[in-house]
């Protein structure tokens, strides 16, 4: 089988698209034997507030969540405002924990908030991804 991104990567919706006025945690994503992951942040319209998206990691996916160290990130975690909205942001993860999740922290006093969604894509070596 030819090696392609389709058969060596898997995308998981961790934080569904929604207009957010408060902070939210995404669901845990099991990276299993993945060698790395990519956090894709889809920012729609943000009318007020700052929506900072960060990545957390955990050994077991339920407890011990902590912010990913900068050394284990590729790129910069975005702080989305009305002047930086309607864009796609990407942040790489090269840490060693099995589970990751995005976290959106909303600051300011948003009345209408902003639309944010997050997908985590895990990349595997030669192992085919089951679909």
pLDDT given at position 129: 62
Strand partners, 123: 9, 36
pLDDT given at position 126: 63
Of 3-17, 67-81, 103-117, give the lowest mean pLDDT range. Answer: 3-17
pLDDT tens for each residue of 14-60:
999 999 999 999 999 999 888 899 999 999 999 999 999 999 999 99
User: For the chain, which domains are there?
Assistant: 12-123 (2.60.120.1110)
Structural contact between residues 45 and 115, judged by C-beta atoms closer than 8 angstroms: yes
pLDDT tens for each residue of 93-123:
999 999 999 999 999 989 999 999 999 999 8
pLDDT given at position 7: 82
* Mean pLDDT across 61-86: 98
Rounded Cα gap, residues 47 and 64, in angstroms:
33
Stated length of the chain: 131
Instruction: Using pLDDT thresholds of 50, 70 and 90, give the confidence band for residue 3.
Output: confident
Of 25 and 124, more confident: 25
User: Can you give the pTM of this predicted structure?
Assistant: 0.92
Helix ranges (DSSP H) in 53-112: none
pLDDT given at position 107: 96
> Is residue 67 over pLDDT 80?
yes
């Amino acid at each position: 089988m030819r090696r392609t991104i389709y058969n060596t990567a898997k995308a998981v919706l961790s934080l569904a698209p929604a207009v957010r006025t408060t902070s939210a945690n995404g669901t845990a994503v099991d990276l299993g034997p993945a060698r790395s992951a990519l956090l894709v942040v889809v920012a729609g319209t943000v009318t007020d507030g700052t929506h900072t998206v960060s990545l957390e990691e955990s050994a077991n996916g339920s407890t011990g969540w902590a912010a990913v160290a900068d050394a284990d990130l590729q790129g910069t975690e975005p702080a989305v405002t009305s002047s930086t909205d309607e864009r796609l942001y990407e942040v790489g993860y090269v840490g060693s924990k099995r589970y990751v999740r995005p976290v959106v922290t909303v600051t300011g006093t948003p009345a209408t908030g902003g639309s944010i969604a997050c997908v985590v894509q895990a990349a595997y070596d030669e192992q085919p991804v089951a679909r």
